[in-house]
Amino acid sequence: MPNAVKKKCRFVILISGRGSNMQNIVQAIGTQGIPAKVCAVISNSDRATGLSWARDQGLQTEVIAHKDYATRAQFDNALAQCVQQYQPDYVLLAGFMRILTPAFINCFQGRIINIHPSLLPLFPGLNTHQQAIDAQLQWHGCTVHFVTPELDSGPTIAQGVVPVLQDDSADTLAARLLPVEHKVYAQVVDWLAQGQVTLTPDGRVVVEGVAHRGML
Ligand code: GRF
């Protein structure tokens, strides 16, 4: 009897800019045998440079430009409709720089994932690298987490850390962190695709077979 074909996990990725996390996820799926498909890369801006990379890979791309909508609610409604047509198992935010409304988040409850460049709950919002330097932290990092209506909050799936060096600027620290972001997000995508990640009703994350979800 032929082996049953394993269903591929469907991802939609939202970006606003260069999309290096998106690129790394697409490449990890392609090279690491992750049972997943990136159904579409969607941006809120036609100037997102990651879009042309995605197009060159033959991926479906869409632009839902926030500036074309009078309100955040209208934009989110259009975005939700666009995302929904791809029937994703998960929506991955990868440098998506718009705050999503609860209406959007509820549409994909427990299925939206974000990467944030800090060790949450430290430093939600912007300028995280400078904040880590200003706080004289010796370690900085990134967090991949489920998205909830509260900004840069929500249950943590995995974190990565890097040292903060004495002479760091926000730019050098960001550059040191980026490859760790790529590693952590690709690992989480693998866990999601393999069906290992559970969000419990009390808001905890359990990853089957993984005792510690921190990376260097
Ligand atoms: C990353 O630092 C990510 O953590 C943050 O925005 C940046 C996006 O970078 N949310 P890229 O577009 O994935 O290169």
pTM (two decimals):
0.97
CA of 178 to the centre of ligand 1 (A): 8
Put the strands of the sheet holding 156-163 in their side by side order.
61-63, 36-43, 9-15, 90-93, 112-116, 139-146, 156-163, 214-215
Probe target for ligand 1 pocket from 18, 21, 23, 153, with the most ligand atoms within 8 Å of CB: 21
Probe target for ligand 1 pocket from 25, 115, 173, with the most ligand atoms within 8 Å of CB: 115
145: annotated active-site residue: no
Domain 1-109 annotated CATH 3.40.50.170 = yes
The 3 state secondary structure assigned to the chain is CCCCCCCCEEEEEEECCCCHHHHHHHHHHHHCCCCEEEEEEEECCCCCCHHHHHHHCCCCEEECCHHHCCCHHHHHHHHHHHHHCCCCCEEEECCCCCCCCHHHHHHCCCCEEEEECCCCCCCCCCCHHHHHHHCCCCEEEEEEEECCCCCCCCCEEEEEEEECCCCCCHHHHHHHHHHHHHHHHHHHHHHHHCCCEEECCCCCEEECCCCCCEEC
What CATH number has the domain spanning 117-142+159-216?
Answer: 3.40.50.170
> Residue-wise over 91-122: b if at least 16 C-beta within 10 A, else e?
bbbbbbebebbeebbebbeebbbbbbbbbbee
Rounded Cα–Cα distance for residues 178 and 170 (Å) = 12
Nearest CA to ligand 1 atom 3: 95
Q: Per-10-residue mean pLDDT for the chain, 216 residues long?
A: 75 98 98 97 97 98 98 98 98 97 96 98 98 98 96 96 98 98 98 98 96 97
pLDDT of residue 77: 98
CA of 145 to the centre of ligand 1 (A): 14
**Contact yes or no for 17/95 (Cβ under 8 A):** yes
66, 116, 129, 212: the catalytic one is: 116
CA of 206 to the centre of ligand 1 (A): 25
Q: Same topology for domains 1-109 and 117-142+159-216, yes or no?
A: yes
pLDDT of residue 1: 46
For 122-172, how does the pLDDT look when each residue is reduced to its tens digit (9 = 90+)?
Answer: 999 999 999 999 999 999 999 999 999 999 999 999 999 999 999 999 999
Atom of ligand 1 nearest to the CA of 15: 12
CA of 70 to the centre of ligand 1 (A): 26
**Contact yes or no for 60/87 (Cβ under 8 A):** no
Q: Domain coordinates of the chain in residue numbers? A: 1-109, 117-142+159-216
